[in-house]
């Protein structure tokens, strides 16, 4: 009988039973149905019990697995952290020894010969100085330029020596002596440029152009471009002259058209002006201590005085006894804290404080200058807020707070690029005369004489009817047109700034009528007077970053790719570093492909306008992805240690994760072949532990669930080493110290983990 009909029959039987007695067949049918119902209910109950037992068993297994992982993590952490400390210490000692030997070798080669006599380069510089002081009539422009090139080389080497040598290897007195030598050589170089100008002006009459009746002379070498114009024709309608082959044009104010003057436009491809500004050094000091400004551990109370290193060590030892009486959890946390502090100490000792040698400002900018200037109050100290007193950064408090008005170039926002332009109007010296076959030259020991413009007003000036009594008409401005200088990258219209010799600052007031032709890269503007000027660009114009990746090419050979706001930068890192060449010719083709140390490459890129290196206080001026500072510092160290065998790149989930969590992608890579997207795995790093995630980069939601058949690790280094193949593990264990040091310095300077943000 079909179930539906049987159900209808049972319904009719039940309904009829209410009115009359059931037959035997009907009673049997009812009993069978009741037994079946009880059987079904029993099966349902047993099934529920089985499901519950399976759930309980699953929870038990999961709890056992968590307990096993926790025990393994505890046991592993006791071994991993001390091992990591030993690795860092071993690398630090090796790199320090190699760098010291290299410095000693270079110093011997640079400054002394094997017989102990001075190096010819220094002798040549001294002879150049003697020629200048004695006014040697036989000195010529070529020899002066050669001497200038030698001085520039010496300056570069001395600055490298100061920036790369740790303080314990370079006594303060010696460092001060080197710094004074740098200033003296800079002054000598300025005197050489003035001497070249004076030599050309002394014989300007011999260089007069027949067509114009004036002297137009251009002298160039690798480091300077000197454009000179002397007024012999004295044409009242003369408005200016264009040095066409050198993309320089000036406008001569009308009051000077009839004067015995010369116009000099001297472009030095180096910048020895910005370093005279006090705000430049304040920022440089903050940039120098950027990587050592964060100390793992609790900050002291604000009322406490910073302790010396020895005092801090004694304090730690004195605190050991009461710490032993803490609860097991507190004691464990305390032990981990001391271990992390030891790692931090080794990490900081391994890095010599690096002062950026760029004559450009190493600072930052934002999208809205008004918002920036309002947010950066005068209470801020460059590098860290005054209220944030962290151990080991008491020197930051020595940096003076400089209030900067809107017209002064703030080195935290802008950086000078492309060198310096000296735009001068000079008095024309007496020219040789020919009398009866004799060449008569009037000698004056005055050197170059600057013509004051605008001329000072006198009380005898009688105002014209159009002028108000007691007022003089404004002097016509001095116009200048230049093509953006070579050896520098400009990603937007540069902002010209003039030098204020009294305030020792770059200023933007007194400059107007600015026009820019982006296709031809031609900039024109006018100044109220002739002055020294430079071109500035926002320091953080390429920040924040959009993407980064580290990909091994071979053993101890990797390439770092950073997708910045306007450009993609690729740096190849081995025992030296190289800015990778590109398929097109750009302004820094002389820099690309050149192997140099990590610190030299960083400085060269900043000087060239290709800046991907945040300043100490960049978070005030550019959007960042804030993360635990201690965690990021250690992570750069660990990323460098595995970068020879493990490819790393950013993750979109790092932008939305917690402040104490850093997520990144990793994949083993032992060749230069491209890595498929599905081969990448996602990893989470926290201060207390690290683990591989079960989710993928393409997942729709963030989950902290650990991947199957994996364990927790105390740090990224041991996690990558534990999950790597034997070949990859061998690479990690035998990493070259110089490669590791260069990679770490580049990663620490770029701050990729915090300065890469998600682009909407």
> Is 324 a residue whose pLDDT tops 50?
no
Peptide bond into 454 cis (omega under 30): yes
> Is 599 a residue whose pLDDT tops 50?
yes
In this predicted model, which residue has the larger pLDDT, 382 or 356?
356
pLDDT value for 36 = 86
Burial class (CB in 10 A: 0-12, 13-18, 19+), 379: exposed
pLDDT value for 80 = 77
Q: Report pLDDT digits (tens) over 227-257.
A: 999 999 999 999 999 999 999 999 999 999 9
pLDDT value for 315 = 40
Confidence class of residue 286 from pLDDT cuts 50, 70 and 90? very low
Percent of the chain with pLDDT over 90: 41
Burial class (CB in 10 A: 0-12, 13-18, 19+), 317: exposed
Confidence class of residue 148 from pLDDT cuts 50, 70 and 90? confident
pLDDT value for 328 = 45
> Is 732 a residue whose pLDDT tops 80?
yes
Distance CA 742, CA 83 (A): 22
pLDDT value for 185 = 86
Lowest mean pLDDT among 6-20, 245-259, 363-377, 494-508: 363-377
In this predicted model, which residue has the larger pLDDT, 346 or 737?
737
Q: What is the mean pLDDT of residues 30-52?
A: 87
pLDDT value for 345 = 52
pLDDT value for 527 = 96
Q: What is the mean pLDDT of residues 351-358?
A: 39
Q: Report pLDDT digits (tens) over 460-490.
A: 444 544 445 455 678 899 999 999 998 899 9
Burial 173-210 (b: 16+ CB within 10 A, else e): eeeeeeeeebeebbebbbbbbbbbbbebbbebbeebee
> Is 267 a residue whose pLDDT tops 90?
yes
Q: Which of 177-181, 438-442, 495-499, 591-595 has the highest mean pLDDT?
A: 495-499
pTM: 0.74
Q: Report pLDDT digits (tens) over 56-81.
A: 888 887 777 777 777 777 777 677 77
In this predicted model, which residue has the larger pLDDT, 159 or 538?
538
Q: What angle do CA 166, 415, 268 make, to 5 degrees?
A: 90
Distance CA 12, CA 263 (A): 121
Average pLDDT, the chain: 77
- Where is 649: in which H helix or E strand? strand 646-650
Q: Report pLDDT digits (tens) over 203-220.
A: 888 889 888 899 999 999
In this predicted model, which residue has the larger pLDDT, 39 or 508?
508
Distance CA 63, CA 67 (A): 6
pLDDT value for 15 = 53
88's CB contacts (< 8 A; 6+ apart) are 343, 346, 347, 350, 637
pLDDT value for 22 = 72
Confidence class of residue 1 from pLDDT cuts 50, 70 and 90? low
Residue 556 DSSP one-character state: T
Lowest mean pLDDT among 133-142, 175-184, 193-202, 698-707: 133-142
Q: What is the mean pLDDT of residues 686-690?
A: 90
> Is 389 a residue whose pLDDT tops 90?
no
Lowest mean pLDDT among 165-174, 403-412, 623-632, 738-747: 165-174
Percent of the chain with pLDDT over 70: 71
pLDDT value for 495 = 96
pLDDT value for 387 = 35
Tokens standing for residue 636: 């750069």
> Is 400 a residue whose pLDDT tops 70?
no
pLDDT value for 327 = 45
pLDDT value for 637 = 94
pLDDT value for 471 = 57
> Is 371 a residue whose pLDDT tops 50?
no
pLDDT value for 605 = 94
Residue pair 539/412 in contact by the 8 Å Cβ criterion = yes
Confidence class of residue 384 from pLDDT cuts 50, 70 and 90? very low
> Is 224 a residue whose pLDDT tops 80?
yes
Residue pair 540/491 in contact by the 8 Å Cβ criterion = no
Q: Report pLDDT digits (tens) over 520-568.
A: 999 999 999 999 999 999 999 999 999 999 999 999 999 999 999 999 9
Confidence class of residue 128 from pLDDT cuts 50, 70 and 90? low
């Amino acid at each position: 009988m079909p179930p539906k009909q049987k159900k209808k029959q049972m319904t009719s039987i039940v309904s009829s039973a209410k009115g009359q007695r059931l037959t035997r067949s009907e009673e049997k049918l009812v009993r069978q149905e009741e037994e079946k119902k009880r059987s079904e209910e029993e099966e349902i109950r047993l099934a529920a019990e089985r499901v519950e037992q399976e759930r309980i068993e699953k929870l038990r297994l999961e709890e056992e697995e968590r307990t096993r992982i926790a025990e393994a993590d505890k046991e592993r952490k006791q071994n991993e952290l001390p091992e990591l400390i030993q690795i860092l210490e071993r690398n630090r000692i090796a790199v320090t020894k190699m760098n010291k030997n290299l410095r000693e070798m270079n110093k011997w080669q640079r400054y002394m010969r094997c017989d102990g006599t001075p190096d010819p380069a220094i002798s040549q510089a001294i002879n150049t100085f003697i020629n200048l002081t004695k006014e040697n009539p036989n000195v010529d422009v070529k020899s002066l330029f050669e001497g200038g090139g030698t001085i520039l080389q010496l300056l570069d080497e001395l600055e490298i020596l100061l920036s790369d040598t740790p303080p314990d290897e370079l006594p303060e007195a010696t460092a001060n002596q080197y710094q004074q030598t740098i200033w003296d050589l800079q002054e000598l170089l300025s005197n050489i440029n003035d001497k070249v100008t004076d030599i050309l002006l002394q014989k300007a009459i011999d260089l007069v152009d027949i067509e114009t009746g004036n002297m137009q002379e251009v002298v160039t070498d690798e480091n300077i471009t000197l454009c000179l114009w002397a007024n012999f024709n004295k044409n009242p309608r003369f408005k200016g002259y264009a040095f066409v082959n050198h993309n320089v044009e000036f406008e001569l104010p009308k009051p000077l058209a009839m004067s015995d003057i010369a116009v000099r436009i001297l472009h030095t491809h180096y910048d020895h002006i910005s370093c005279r500004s006090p705000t430049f050094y304040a920022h440089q000091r903050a940039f120098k201590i950027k990587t050592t400004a964060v100390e793992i551990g609790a900050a002291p109370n604000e009322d406490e005085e910073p302790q010396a290193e020895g005092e801090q060590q004694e304090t730690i030892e004195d605190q050991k006894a009461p710490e032993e009486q803490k609860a097991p959890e507190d004691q464990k946390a305390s032990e981990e804290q001391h271990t992390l502090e030891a790692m931090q100490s080794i990490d900081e000792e391994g890095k010599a404080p690096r002062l950026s040698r760029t004559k450009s400002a190493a600072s930052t900018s934002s999208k809205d200058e008004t918002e920036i200037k309002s947010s950066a109050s005068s209470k801020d100290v460059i590098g860290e807020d005054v209220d944030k007193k962290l151990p080991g950064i008491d020197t930051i408090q020595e940096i003076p707070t400089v209030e900067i008005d809107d017209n002064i170039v703030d080195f935290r926002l802008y950086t000078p690029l492309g060198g310096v332009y000296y735009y001068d109007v000079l008095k024309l010296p007496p020219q040789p005369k020919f009398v009866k076959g004799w060449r008569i030259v009037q000698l004056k020991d005055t050197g170059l004489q600057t013509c004051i413009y605008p001329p000072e007003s006198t009380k005898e000036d009688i105002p014209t009817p159009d002028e108000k009594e007691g007022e003089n008409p404004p002097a016509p401005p001095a116009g200048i047109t230049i093509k953006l200088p070579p050896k520098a990258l400009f990603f937007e219209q540069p902002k010209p700034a003039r030098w204020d010799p009294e305030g020792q600052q770059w200023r933007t007031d007194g400059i107007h009528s600015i026009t820019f032709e982006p296709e031809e890269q031609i900039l024109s503007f006018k100044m109220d007077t002739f002055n020294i000027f430079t071109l500035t660009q926002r320091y953080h114009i390429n920040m924040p970053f959009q993407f980064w990746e580290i990909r091994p090419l071979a053993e101890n050979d990797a390439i770092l790719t950073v997708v910045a706001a306007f450009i993609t930068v690729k740096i190849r890192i081995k025992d030296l570093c190289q800015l990778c060449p590109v398929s097109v010719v750009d302004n820094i083709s002389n820099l690309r492909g050149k192997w140099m140390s990590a610190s030299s490459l960083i400085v060269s890129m900043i000087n060239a306008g290709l800046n991907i290196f945040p300043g100490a206080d960049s978070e005030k001026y550019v959007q960042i992805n804030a993360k635990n500072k201690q965690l990021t510092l250690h992570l750069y160290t660990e990323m460098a240690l595995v970068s020879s065998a493990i490819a790393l790149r950013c993750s979109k989930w790092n932008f939305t994760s917690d402040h104490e969590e850093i997520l990144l992608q990793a994949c083993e890579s032992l060749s230069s072949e491209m890595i498929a997207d599905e081969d990448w795995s996602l990893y989470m790093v926290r201060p207390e532990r690290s683990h591989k995630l079960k989710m993928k980069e393409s997942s729709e939601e963030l989950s902290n669930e650990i991947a199957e058949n994996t364990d927790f690790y105390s740090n990224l280094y041991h996690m990558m080493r534990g999950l790597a193949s034997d070949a990859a593990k061998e690479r990690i264990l035998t990493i070259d110290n110089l490669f590791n040091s260069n990679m770490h310095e580049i990663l620490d300077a770029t701050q990729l983990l915090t300065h890469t943000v998600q682009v909407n």
